[in-house]
A and B are shown apart, each in its own frame.
Chain A
């Protein structure tokens, strides 16, 4: 059974933000909501590296653990999804998430949060696959079409990998061996309690 993951090869990432706009375009994500973002460490200094980050779809996801209404569920592919019908916008998942993935539209008064929105691994939500209802709430369901998340598919330098964790780890290992350096599979330790064994 596939256990899907994301892996950002920071030695390939050039902070082109293709993943960000591809996600916005594919899922029609509104201004101010960033399901994916690129952070640059050591900006402007030797050793500068950029990392594209979104929901890592953790094993034993902290968001799901702290959710007061149990709106999260994990699919058979290990994609962590949530129901916007159940979500109350409390913000706990944002506090618990090690990756800053949950996003909240501002609705109504005094900055109160709307339903949480986050990366769905382009796997839609609880609604029927590939329906308008699903799209409006969660965006595209590429997995149901047999496709992978658009951010990884469109990554300019193929830095962002998506797919079966074992396979992408293998790809990353091959790269590191071939080129002789690698700054690590960012977020894996935190999300999966596991690095890429090299």
Chain B
């Protein structure tokens, strides 16, 4: 309806222009006539390609100020207020639902052979430091980030504007600062664990067996990291890089492009990836804690029960034993 009215108005405008042009004295019809050639907003808007802007020249050095109208601001709003929360809701609520279903059907994955009482060192101090550096900052970044998208619907009504704004303001500062240790963590993680995370044929078998997660008593063999963990590693590695790069361009505006459209692109990348990332990490956290008996110790004390290790990382345990044989003390460094 509305567009129909617009169309009629545009038509009326055009008619009027024709009428008016005809009414002009003949001498005003000269060419080149800068007035007659006047650039019209209507035409510019019509000719506008999706994602492009109406821009001109401006003397101040701020390049983005030369953009006069960027209708894509509305598109971004649509994405940010419509699409993004849906993506976020689906991925986060979806994963929680899946995990709940999984827990309901499979329950906590127990160590089939029960606790052996003997432990084996899975992660040394440095590994655990790197993990928790990344994980800890990630949690804060995730919460402060989610707050930006959902806070005003979920938290603001409870806190009121002022308190919420203060919280969110601190959240923004924390988000900005913690991004640096997070990026360091991602980099370190990649360096220390990449060699054990190169995919190989063993992973296919592990995947075929569903990682043994869905059937009791099935434990496909795995080295230091099974395919599932490798998946988490590569999600973290790739996701971490993209989220860091996009975040960097948001921390330092207009380093990732001259115009607002570039900023919009980077904030979208950052936000969508964050939602997926958060979902993936929820699953990771589940399986590493409540989801599986004995798993948390790996990043907790670093010492895992030998039976747990045998069930989930049989080949790695064998490797470690061989190494232990060579080294009577049995103290096996993770690396």
Chains A and B share a contact (CB less than 8 Å):
yes
Are A39 and B57 touching (Cβ within 8 A)?
yes
B171 contacts which chain A residues (CB < 8 A)? 88
How distant is the Cα of A89 from the Cα of B73 in the complex, in angstroms?
18
Segment 153-198 of A: residues with Cβ below 8 Å from B: 176-177, 180-181, 183-187, 189-190, 193-195, 197-198
Are A68 and B151 touching (Cβ within 8 A)?
yes
Interface flag for A112 (CB, 8 Å): yes
How distant is the Cα of A87 from the Cα of B80 in the complex, in angstroms?
18
Interface pick from A92-100, A116-124, A137-145: A92-100
Are A189 and B41 touching (Cβ within 8 A)?
yes
Are A95 and B38 touching (Cβ within 8 A)?
no
**Shortest Cβ distance from A39 into chain B, in angstroms?**
4
Interface flag for B45 (CB, 8 Å): yes
**Shortest Cβ distance from A111 into chain B, in angstroms?**
5
Interface pick from B10-18, B201-209, B226-234, B277-285: B10-18
Are B65 and A39 touching (Cβ within 8 A)?
yes
Are A62 and B69 touching (Cβ within 8 A)?
no
Greatest chain A CB density within 10 A among B21, B55, B57, B251 is at: B57
Interface flag for B9 (CB, 8 Å): yes
Name the residue of chain B whose CB is nearest to the CB of A69: B165
B58 contacts which chain A residues (CB < 8 A)? 37-40
Interface flag for B197 (CB, 8 Å): no
Are B252 and A111 touching (Cβ within 8 A)?
yes
Interface flag for A127 (CB, 8 Å): no
Interface flag for B42 (CB, 8 Å): yes
Greatest chain B CB density within 10 A among A51, A69, A92, A197 is at: A69
Are B56 and A43 touching (Cβ within 8 A)?
yes
**Shortest Cβ distance from A172 into chain B, in angstroms?**
12
How distant is the Cα of A95 from the Cα of B73 in the complex, in angstroms?
6
Are A46 and B12 touching (Cβ within 8 A)?
no
Segment 67-120 of A: residues with Cβ below 8 Å from B: 67-71, 83, 85-92, 94-100, 110-113
A184 contacts which chain B residues (CB < 8 A)? 40-42
Interface flag for B148 (CB, 8 Å): yes
B176 contacts which chain A residues (CB < 8 A)? 110, 112
A65 contacts which chain B residues (CB < 8 A)? 77, 81
Residue among B68, B162, B253 making CB contact with A111, cutoff 8 Å: B253
**Shortest Cβ distance from B73 into chain A, in angstroms?**
4
How distant is the Cα of A87 from the Cα of B168 in the complex, in angstroms?
9
A148 contacts which chain B residues (CB < 8 A)? none
Q: Could you name 15 residue pairs across A and B whose Cβ atoms are closer than 8 Å?
A: A10-B39, A40-B56, A47-B34, A49-B39, A53-B68, A68-B148, A69-B152, A86-B162, A91-B253, A111-B252, A112-B251, A180-B24, A183-B41, A185-B41, A198-B9
In the complex, given contacts A86-B161, A190-B74, what are 19 additional A-B residue pairs having Cβ atoms less than 8 angstroms apart? Answer: A37-B58, A39-B57, A48-B34, A51-B68, A65-B81, A66-B76, A66-B80, A69-B151, A69-B164, A92-B267, A98-B74, A99-B70, A110-B176, A176-B16, A180-B20, A180-B23, A186-B68, A190-B69, A197-B13
4 A-B pairs with least C-beta separation: A184-B41, A47-B37, A43-B57, A86-B165
The interface of chain B, by Cβ under 8 A from chain A, is 2, 6, 9-10, 12-13, 16-17, 20-21, 23-24, 28, 32-42, 44-45, 54-58, 60, 62, 64-74, 76-77, 80-81, 147-149, 151-152, 156, 161-162, 164-165, 168-169, 171-172, 176, 250-253, 260, 263-264, 267
The interface of chain A, by Cβ under 8 A from chain B, is 10-11, 32, 34, 37-43, 46-51, 53, 62, 65-71, 83, 85-92, 94-100, 110-113, 176-177, 180-181, 183-187, 189-190, 193-195, 197-198
